[in-house]
Amino acid sequence: MDDRLKSQNGPDGPKDAEWENLYNQCQECKKCSLHLTRTNLVFGVGDRKSKVLFIGEGPGEQEDIKGEPFVGRAGKLLDDMLAMIGLDRSRIYIANIVKCRPPNNRDPNTKEQEACFDWLNRQISLIDPKIIVCLGRIAAMKLIREDFKITREHGKWFKYGNIDIMAIYHPSALLRDPNRRPETFVDLKALQKKISQLCPESLSI
């Protein structure tokens, strides 16, 4: 089993085989053209037993090289954001809408998102989270509502089936526009409150 596939919180018993099978299917996926230009599959990382799932849009250059989501500058900022509310990667799971890097870090198009979405839904089913956090508008438009407006609706709670879901600005957007960081901190505190209510074991403070 690939080391990136191993849970950071011990074995999952019967689910181990399901995770490995899903990972292998993703490795072989040719549903869209992104598999032709990727260096590595970026499957996801973290605690597969966590009740808190973060979902971004797609891998960038550094993620494609390493095969792990959010490892570049945006990843460092994400780590800092998590630390502000008592979270770290060992206590959550992080995935993306698409698992292969779009060329030149462009947004994944509709066809690519649709091709990859079943893999993400299967991850969601295996994890069975209580809370999903969309990182940026692409994830929010896919998981919350097609006409989602990140500038107006960030930090608000919605439902994905029976899962509480919210969207915050993508760390890359915060790097480009630091003026949005104060409102993102408010969103993070709202997330911390919801985690305290639903799955306080995810927090270290």
Kindly report the three-state secondary structure assignment for every residue of 147-165: CCCHHHHCCCCEEECCEEE
Answer whether residue 3 shows pLDDT above 90: no
pLDDT tens-place string over residues 8-39: 455 566 689 999 999 999 999 999 999 999 99
pLDDT tens-place string over residues 31-60: 999 999 999 999 999 999 999 999 999 999
Per domain, the residue ranges of the chain are: 15-196
> 15-196: which CATH architecture?
3-Layer(aba) Sandwich (3.40)
Instruction: Decide: 18 and 98 in contact? Cβ < 8 Å.
Output: no
pLDDT tens-place string over residues 123-138: 999 999 999 999 999 9
- pTM equals 0.93
CA-to-CA distance for 194 and 132, rounded, in angstroms?
11
pLDDT band at 172 (very low <50, low <70, confident <90, very high): very high
**What would the two tokens of residue 177 be?**
């526009």
Q: What is the pLDDT of residue 46?
A: 96
Looking at the chain, the whole-number percentage of residues with pLDDT higher than 90 is 92
